[in-house]
Amino acid sequence: MSQNIYDDPQFFAGYATLDRSVKGLEGAPEWPSLQAMLPPITGLRVVDLGCGYGWFCRWAQQQGASQITGFDISQRMLAQAREMTRGDEIVYRYADLQTLTLPANSCDLVYSSLALHYLPDIAPLFAPLQQALVPGGTLVFSAEHPIYTAPLQQGWRVDEQGQKSWPVSHYQQEGERVSNWFAEGVIKQHRKLSSWITRLSPRVLCWSSWMSGVRAPNRLSNSPPWMKRKNVR
């Protein structure tokens, strides 16, 4: 089972202070890159894996999706999403993505932002997603970049000039990483870029786009915590 750190009161309170929690998609630096990969939404049946506050679900609703289902392992997140949502097009459901199953041909678009790196194994998820998507359906997802999940001891270093950098180590050593982010003992899974591709490739008939990193300097400059990510060694 995946860790449910988002129901930890301390973590949930800290996460609520992030721009992506306060401003929604406009506060998420990766959003322009993900949005550019999306097909026209009108009339689509949409699934959001790790929906959180439901920002993407509500955006899809505004874009004319016919049916939207948001899944999350956090009851606190689901409660927040339901409180912020109006209309009958969106349904929020509890699910551990590690064991999620969906009806065959039940959706046109599967979307997931910064959720899959929490899963101990991503391969069991991709098989049911392939069955759930209609022929020609679309999967768009983002995950934390392996250069940030790689170090066993994660943290920024500061040199004599006060410049911060993120040393990369243990990249080849995949598996569990434990960090203290808003709360102690946050578990993420480190996977090499090649592993993401090889686990997904048998399930994908056509790759349309793959982006490594977020290339939106104007959005980084408006989001101080992300500025530090310019310096990676």
Q: How far is 5 from 177, CA to CA, in rounded Å?
A: 14
Token pair recorded at residue 84:
């912020």
pLDDT higher than threshold 50 for residue 218? no
Residue-wise pLDDT for 161-184, tens only, equals 889 888 899 999 998 898 888 887
Superfamily of domain 5-230: Vaccinia Virus protein VP39 (3.40.50.150)
Report the pLDDT averaged over residues 47-69: 98
Element (H, E) at 79: helix 75-84
Q: How far is 191 from 196, CA to CA, in rounded Å?
A: 7
Element (H, E) at 69: strand 67-72
Q: How far is 221 from 150, CA to CA, in rounded Å?
A: 25
**Cα→Cα distances 142→104, 150, 160, 188, 208, Å:** 23, 17, 34, 14, 14
Residue-wise pLDDT for 72-101, tens only, equals 999 999 999 999 999 889 999 999 999 999
Amino acid at 218: N
How far, rounded to the nearest angstrom, does the alpha carbon of residue 173 sit from its chain's CA centroid?
A: 22
**What integer pLDDT is reported at residue 75 of this predicted model?**
96
pLDDT band at 61, cuts 50/70/90? very high
* DSSP conformation class of 53: T
**Is the alpha carbon torsion for 214, 35, 117, 192 positive or negative?**
negative
Q: Which of 56-65, 96-105, 190-199 has the lowest mean pLDDT?
A: 190-199
Please, is 81 exposed, middle or buried when counting C-beta atoms within 10 Å of its C-beta (0-12, 13-18, 19+)? Answer: buried
pLDDT band at 209, cuts 50/70/90? low
Count of CB atoms situated within 10 Å of the CB of 109: 22
Average pLDDT, the chain: 86
Token pair recorded at residue 179:
């960090």
pLDDT band at 210, cuts 50/70/90? low
φ, ψ of residue 187 to 5 degrees: the values are -105, 125
Q: What pTM was computed for the model?
A: 0.85
Pick from 203, 198, 206: which is nearest to 130 by CA?
203
